[in-house]
Structure formats: structure tokens, C-alpha cells
Amino acid sequence: MQSTNPATGEQLATYEEDDAVDVEEKLALSMDAYADWRDRPIRERETLLANAGSVLRENKRRYAELMVREMGKPISQAIAEVEKSAWACDHYAEYASAYLSEEHYPSPPGTEVKTVHDPLGPVLAVMPWNYPFWQVIRFAAPYLTAGNVGLLKHASNVPGTALVLEEVFTEAGYPEGVFQTLMIGSSQVEDVLADDRVKAATLTGSGPAGRAVAETAGKHLKKTVLELGGSDPFIVLDDADLEAAVETGVQARTQNGGQSCIAAKRFLVHEAVYDEYVDRLVDAFEALVVGDPTDEATDVGPQADAALMADLQEQVQASVDAGATLLTGGEPLDRDGAFYPPTVLSDVPSGCPVDSEETFGPVAAVYEVADEQEAVTLANDSRFGLGASIWTEDRERGEQLARDIESGAVYVNELTKSDPRVPFGGINDSGYGRELSETGIKEFVNRKTVWIQ
């Protein structure tokens, strides 16, 4: 298993994969750890999670630099990711016991009836490379604190990060085996998930990967939470604050090199402001600094992998061939590394790749709409349903339209984001289940009814 710097093409390190014996030992250890961990008082588990948040903050520069080297995220964004991960630890360290408190119900005199929230056991997490710390911490923080133990199968291009995440929990004082990294390839996931000791799984990734995990889990009647791809609409209405909608739209499309499931991908702009908005958007895209991700001044680093960049370029070129107009960008930059420029396409034909597929890179497709109803119709004309963003100065109008959008989340006058205080997840081909908040921590617990006569 190798890690490669996408900014230079330099091979960074080689890691030994776990063989069948290694995997068996880790599964056995997870069960041993669970037998004790599930009975630890939740306040103790919360204290350890707070420790993990401290470990993240104390080492944030080192962790951020590792992310930069392995997947190309600009250093300022990498530091922010570690800080956000620490925030998730803080949140569950403070609120997990309240989220999982007993729920009492009316019952006959002399009886007590309640729901308690028991852990399930070892939970497998199949996590992506694009937010290699945040994705893992948003899995581990709630589910470990609920009393489960974690088995991480991280993306194969961030093996160093996968091992460091195990280090975070060790340094925080977690017992051995409560959080382990499986250094395995995707082909081994099915066997691990099918093992009787693994009780549930969560995956963030592609549609095919999600379907494979769901199929295996369904065959064995195991709970899953899937967060898959997205093609989020970013709706700009005629009464929007254009300056704010441009500034946030650029961030929503290009942060993390545009490699985000909840990035703004389809910009649906009211005809009354379309020309001005698109001109401003193109100017802002062209002003972004594309370059060395270790430089604090860089806005957009390399794509995480040359092959992924080639796929993105194929989507853009096929869309142009189908009739889309290229307003800026559109070709890999002529330099070492997997650098792709911020790109804007207009006159996007229905069904072309940038319209119907997820584009995992800094490519914005812009559409002119006659009114808010056409915007909603186009927004919902997608097999995905992860998030959406609506821009209007009329908050009541925005809230009403938000109810008409078919997605797991809608943000009015804000970019779509994940936040430990609110549930996160999608519908349709964007997956099912919810992460974060009280809803998320209860996905992998047994909501047990206890009747005491």
C-alpha cells in the first residue's frame, strides 16, 4: 500500500497490508475490547473523547501536513479540518450522555417503562480520502462514545493518515482495541463485514461502493449508514445578495479542490441576475491561486490523484462536445502534479456528464432559470439528494423553497456543510441514514425497551 504526493508525483512511503492472520487478530481484539468498553461509564468515555480532541489540537500542524502530502489539500484547509475534528470530539464529550439518556414512557401504576441505548459491538467504517481526518472522527466520536468499538478501513491513498488516526486514540488513553485501523484493500471489505463479530457498518464514498456494502450487510441483516455522492444545486434567486452568493459559491465549489460530496456543483441562477452573477463567478474563479498546497496563499491544490483528474477532464470534455460552453478553465495545467484549474461551464445540455453525474473537482455548471419554480424543478432533476443551498434576501421565501427541494439538507444563505450539532446525510442515490447530532449517535445503538413490573 503506497502513498504518493499528488502535487509532485513523488512516492512518499510504502506500507504493509494486513494479511488474513492480521485481520483475524484485530477482529478478536475488537471483541475483547468491546467486552470491557461497553461497560465503562459513559462519563469516562466522554472524558477520553475530550482527550482525543486535545491530542488533535496539540498535533494539528503535523496532522495537517500529513494530509497535504498524501492527498493535496491546501495547508490552511487541512489545519481547519483537524480543528473541526477536535470540535466534534468536544461536542460528543459534552452531549453524548444527554443524547443517550434513558427515555421514560407512561405505564401502569407501580411499573417503570423506558428505552435504554445499548451499543451494538464492533462497527466497520469504510472511509474516503477527501476529508481523511474529519470523515473518520465524525464516525468515531459518536459511535465509540456510545460504547461500540471501531474498525477503520481507510482509503488506500492515505495509509499514513489511517495509522495516525489510530495513534490519536491511543495517545488519548483509549484501551487497546477500541479503535483499530485495518490496512486492507477494498476487495477484503466484504469478508470483514460478513464476519459475525462485526455488527454494523458505515461508508462514505461512491455509489458502487455503497451498493456493495449495503448488499453484503443486507445479506447478513446488519445495520448500515451510507453517505454517497452528490450533485448539489446552488440556487441564486433574483433578490439574492450577489456579493455574498459569489463569495460563498466560489468557496462551496472549490474548497478541498472541489473534491467534496456536498460541494455546490450545479448553479441555478435567476435570469434577472444571471449575466452579472456568472461574470462575477468567472472572475472570482480566475482569481483563485492554484499551486503548492504547502503555501498558505494557495486556494486550490492538486487533485488527489492523476487518474481522478483524468476522469474529471473526460467529463468536462464530453460536456463541451455535447454543447456546453466553456467559460474558463477546462484543461489540466501544464506543470508537474495533478493540477486542474477552477472551471465554469454554461449552456449545459441535459444529460451531459456535468449535468447528470457527480463532478469531483473544481468544476461549476451554471444554468439560467426563469423563476423559482424552474429552479426547484432543475434542482430535483437529479438521482442524487445530498444537500442544496438557496440564496434570497427573503428568509420566508427561502424556507418555503427549502421544503420543495428533495435532499437531506438545505441551507438558506449559507453553503451546505456538516456540523456536529445537526443531522447529516442524504436521500436517493446519495445514501441513507444520518450522521452527527443526537440522530447520528443513535444509528448504531440498540434502542431497548425495558419494562419493570
pLDDT per residue over 371-419, tens digit each? 999 999 999 999 999 999 999 999 999 999 999 999 999 999 999 999 9
pLDDT at 5: 98
Residue 374 is a catalytic residue = no
Strands 103-105, 112-119: parallel, antiparallel or unpaired by DSSP?
antiparallel
Query: Nearest-5° angle of CA 193, CA 196, CA 197?
Result: 85
Per-residue pLDDT at 213? 98
For the chain, domain boundaries:
2-228+428-452, 232-412
**Three-state secondary-structure class, residue 332:** coil
Q: Write down the catalytic residue from 70, 81, 261, 443.
A: 261
How do residues 274-303 score in pLDDT, each as one tens digit? 999 999 999 999 999 999 999 999 999 999
| Partners of 346 in the β-ladder | 325
Q: How far is CA 317 from CA 124, 276, 337, 354, 380, in A?
A: 38, 26, 20, 10, 25
State residue 109 phi and psi, 5-degree precision.
Answer: -55, 135
Percent of the chain as helix, strand, coil, to the nearest 5: 45, 20, 35
How far apart, in whole angstroms, are the C-alpha atoms of residue 401 and residue 391? 10
DSSP 343-371: EEEESPPTTSHHHHS---SSEEEEEEESS
Taking the C-alpha atoms of residue 341 and residue 362, their distance in angstroms, rounded to an integer, is 7
In the chain, pLDDT over 70 holds for what percent of residues? 100
CA distances from 358 to 212, 264, 316, 355, 363 (A): 19, 11, 11, 8, 10
**Beta strands per DSSP E along 271-348:** 325-328, 343-346
* Nine-digit cell string for 151: 474498525
Q: How high is the pLDDT of residue 153?
A: 98
Q: How far is CA 192 from CA 129, 207, 216, 417, in A?
A: 20, 20, 10, 31
Q: Where are the alpha helices (DSSP H) in 299-445?
A: 306-321, 353-356, 372-380, 395-404, 437-441
Task: Please provide the CATH number assigned to the domain covering 2-228+428-452.
Answer: 3.40.605.10
Half-sphere exposure for 215 (CA within 13 Å, toward CB): 9
In this predicted structure, what is the pLDDT of residue 191? Answer: 98
What is the model's pLDDT at position 296?
97
Question: Cβ(147)–Cβ(77) under 8 Å?
Answer: no
Q: Which triple of cell numbers denotes residue 77?
A: 484547509
Classify 330 in phi/psi space as left (phi over 0), alpha (psi -120 to 50) or beta: left
Give the amino acid at 318.
A
C-alpha to C-alpha distance for 382 and 355, rounded to whole angstroms = 8
| Spans in the chain with pLDDT lower than 70 | none
| ∠ CA 252-247-268, rounded to 5° | 60
Catalytic pick among 46, 70, 227, 368: 227
CA 341 vs CA 71, 300, 302, 331, 332: distances in Å: 17, 8, 9, 7, 7
CB 236 within 8 A of CB 270: yes
Confidence (pLDDT) at 76: 98
Q: What is the pLDDT of residue 148?
A: 99
Query: Which amino acid appears at position 360 of this protein?
Result: F
15: exposed, middle or buried (Cβ count in 10 Å: 0-12, 13-18, 19+): middle
Within 10 angstroms of residue 262's Cβ, the number of other Cβ atoms is 25
Q: Is 261 part of the annotated catalytic residue set?
A: yes
Dist CA 45 CA 239 (whole Å) = 48
- CATH number for the domain running over 232-412: 3.40.309.10
How many CA atoms does the CB half-sphere of 311 hold within 13 Å? 12
